[in-house]
Chains A and B, each alone.
Chain A
Amino acid sequence: ETGVTQSPTHLIKTRGQQVTLRCSSQSGHNTVSWYQQALGQGPQFIFQYYREEENGRGNFPPRFSGLQFPNYSSELNVNALELDDSALYLCASSPDRIRKNTEAFFGQGTRLTVV
């Protein structure tokens, strides 16, 4: 068991709405990364949070935003949902920022469906 938990596991939203996804990192880990996995595709990097600050961002628009809290848990917020935002959102917890030898532990994901 990885110790990384995400909530909720599934949710359905309407186009134009806003959504918040949550992630509890593994004990002792100070870094959380978020990935979007569209159906049949590999995970795509959204952003990483290290000690409560954003530490890198992938090719996602500003309506994707995040937070990291003092206990290193994290939220992913998506505004103005679009149909293409339907995907599995994965949270990855690591003991430090992702570098060459850093391992990350993934949660089970949140399946978001936008209708």
Chain B
Amino acid sequence: GNSVTQMEGPVTLSEEAFLTINCTYTATGYPSLFWYVQYPGEGLQLLLKATKADDKGSNKGFEATYRKETTSFHLEKGSVQVSDSAVYFCALSDKTGNQFYFGTGTSLTVIP
């Protein structure tokens, strides 16, 4: 079956620090992979996606590379800002299903 595992949070970083949030997946076939972000009191917003192996998704300074050999899709940002404080969800979808499978989320707090 399909599933997503994310690193446990919460994560607290100082402004301008480097961010990595780990995500690994289990899937039947070749899924698409997503990172969604949830700001306090809001719904989910798509941050970036990758649809095939070795693709790199990027947006707002965040990047993630689809690694088929390690079944991973780790989120990275070189220099975080206070405004990046949010909960980040890794997710997958595949051609056979009708849903997204989400990880449990990783809470990030960036302090000035």
Shortest B81–chain A CB gap in Å is 22
CB of A87 within 8 Å of the partner chain: no
Interface residues on B, range: 20 to 34
A81-B94 Cα distance, complex, nearest whole Å: 32
Q: Are B97 and A42 in contact (CB under 8 A)?
A: no
A residues contacting the other copy or chain, number (CB 8 A)? 30
Closest chain B residue, CB of each to CB of A31: B98
Choose from A6, A43, A55, A109 the contact partner of B98 (Cβ within 8 Å).
A55
Q: Is the CB of A101 within 8 A of B97?
A: no
Distance in Å: Cβ of A23 to nearest Cβ of chain B: 11
What residue in chain A is nearest B89 (Cβ atoms)?
Answer: A42
Residues of B within 8 A of A (CB): 4, 30-32, 36, 41-46, 49, 51, 89, 91, 93-95, 97-105
